[in-house]
Amino acid sequence: MQELFHNIANFVKEKFPNQDFIPLHAPVFIGNERKYVMETLDSTFVSSVGSFVNRFEEMMCEITGASYAIAIVNGTNALHLALLLADVQRDDEVLSQSLTFIATCNAISYIGAHPVFVDVDRDTLGMSPNSLSAYLKQNAVRNEDGFSYNRITGKRIKACVPMHTFGFPCRIDEIATICQEWNIVLVEDAAESLGSYYKGIHTGIFGKVGTFSFNGNKTVTCGGGGAIVTNDEELAKKAKHLTTQAKVAHPWAFVHDAIGYNYRMPNLNAALACAQLEQLSPFVENKRELASQYKSYFDTLNIDFHTELNETSANYWLNSLILNSKEEREEFLTFMNSNGVMARPVWELMHHLSMFEHCEKSDLSNSEWIADRLVNIPSSVRL
């Protein structure tokens, strides 16, 4: 094992030369970042109104193909807002995955709604349409009001939030069809999948609302930032309204017509975001090239390097290996992290955390299987 791990560490080091410690994902600022940030300072429009916020929203529409994009202060708040737009209410249930980053479940909890966990597919790492469909058939019923209810808890199942894990698109068209059948609003957590496509269509636009993150560790970053995309004009208007304290437009008066939020992305961050989005295509190409080199290498070692489904194109945000066992995973993590190569396990599964251990759930054996074996290895854009 040690010799094998030693060789793997050396291979990674060759890909990222001249670094003492190779991080999992470091940002690179090699485009117009400095120029745009300086322009913003010179303009004095550093806050939530400014030309870069508008430009950022236009760029997000171009990239994703969505009709509307709304700049948000971060990805977690984008999810919170998306669930509000989906009309999720206190004590509703929201279907999601246990294999996800905590932000998905936190956003559901901010509303006082409850996550319900279904399993993921091993080949996409994202929500399994089969598990979703089986859970609903077994536990849900359509009531006269048109909504689906959980027969065990009596709660309304209002929305479904699949996540495209590490940038690998899940079977989102099948999930969309199931949600339609049960009148459940589809909200896509596309935080990790900017630049990833499912059957030629950008992730995030299959449901009513999709959300993105521009946190420091994502494929492109603006320090902190998020976005919502939708094709629904009414929802887009509502999103802009709610993210700006629900202030009624007026030249001077402060009148608000709902409980709003201060969720707008500042122009300073949007400047950085625009410069980064200009480089999205070359960044994703760069990352896909690294993934293909990893793939060839790990094939020679008979180690399972995770790849995209045939009909999808992934951004390979975080490269992933599926090792043979939890013990091997621990050995791998210990070796790599003490030998200059950062490696990480997947997040602790949500239903193992004290806040979510009592949530409703389906059989989660694929989630458990993946969580025991998966490790992420360095995936930054290489200069």
Active site residues: 218
Q: Are 92 and 155 in contact (CB under 8 A)?
A: yes
DSSP string for 181-226:
HTT-EEEEE-TT-TT-EETTEETT-SSSEEEEE--TTSSS--SS-E
Q: How far apart are the C-alpha atoms of 317 and 196, rounded to whole Å? A: 9
The answer to whether residue 195 forms part of the interface with ligand PLP (CB under 6 A) is no
Nearest distance from C-beta of residue 152 to ligand PLP, angstroms: 27
At 376 the three-state DSSP class reads strand
- Return the closest-CA partner of residue 217 out of 70, 5, 75, 55: 75
**Among 40, 48, 64, 74, which residue interacts with ligand PLP (rule: CB under 6 A)?**
74
The answer to whether residue 188 forms part of the interface with ligand PLP (CB under 6 A) is no
Nearest distance from C-beta of residue 191 to ligand PLP, angstroms: 3
Instruction: Candidates 8-16, 95-103, 135-143, 270-278: pick the segment binding ligand PLP (CB under 6 A).
Output: 95-103
Instruction: Candidates 72-80, 234-242, 287-295, 318-326: pick the segment binding ligand PLP (CB under 6 A).
Output: 72-80
214 or 335: whose CB is closer to ligand PLP? 214
Instruction: Candidates 21-29, 101-109, 262-270, 283-291: pick the segment binding ligand PLP (CB under 6 A).
Output: 101-109
Nearest distance from C-beta of residue 345 to ligand PLP, angstroms: 15
**Among 93, 121, 188, 189, which residue interacts with ligand PLP (rule: CB under 6 A)?**
189
Q: Which of residues 153-182 bind ligand PLP (CB under 6 A)?
A: 163
The answer to whether residue 266 forms part of the interface with ligand PLP (CB under 6 A) is no
* DSSP H helical ranges for 278-363: 280-300, 326-337
Q: Are 187 and 208 in contact (CB under 8 A)?
A: yes
Instruction: Candidates 113-121, 184-192, 250-258, 358-366: pick the segment binding ligand PLP (CB under 6 A).
Output: 184-192
**Among 37, 52, 60, 75, which residue interacts with ligand PLP (rule: CB under 6 A)?**
75
Question: Rounded to the nearest 5°, which phi and psi values hold at 192?
Answer: -100, 0
The answer to whether residue 203 forms part of the interface with ligand PLP (CB under 6 A) is no
**Among 213, 276, 279, 312, which residue interacts with ligand PLP (rule: CB under 6 A)?**
213
Neighbours of 199 (CB within 10 A): 13
- Measured CA to CA in angstroms, residue 40 lies from 30, 46, 380 at distances of 18, 6, 27
β-strand partners of 212: 227
Longest dimension (CA), the chain: 70
Q: How many residues does the chain have?
A: 383
100 or 131: whose CB is closer to ligand PLP? 100
Q: Are 355 and 361 in contact (CB under 8 A)?
A: no
Neighbours of 260 (CB within 10 A): 14
Which residue shows structure tokens 């959980």?
150
The answer to whether residue 219 forms part of the interface with ligand PLP (CB under 6 A) is no
Q: How far apart are the C-alpha atoms of 260 and 155, rounded to whole Å? A: 26
- Return the closest-CA partner of residue 337 out of 3, 23, 7: 23
The answer to whether residue 276 forms part of the interface with ligand PLP (CB under 6 A) is no
The answer to whether residue 76 forms part of the interface with ligand PLP (CB under 6 A) is yes
**Among 104, 196, 362, 367, which residue interacts with ligand PLP (rule: CB under 6 A)?**
104
Interface residues with ligand PLP (CB under 6 A) are: 74-76, 79, 100-101, 103-104, 163, 189, 191-192, 213, 215, 226
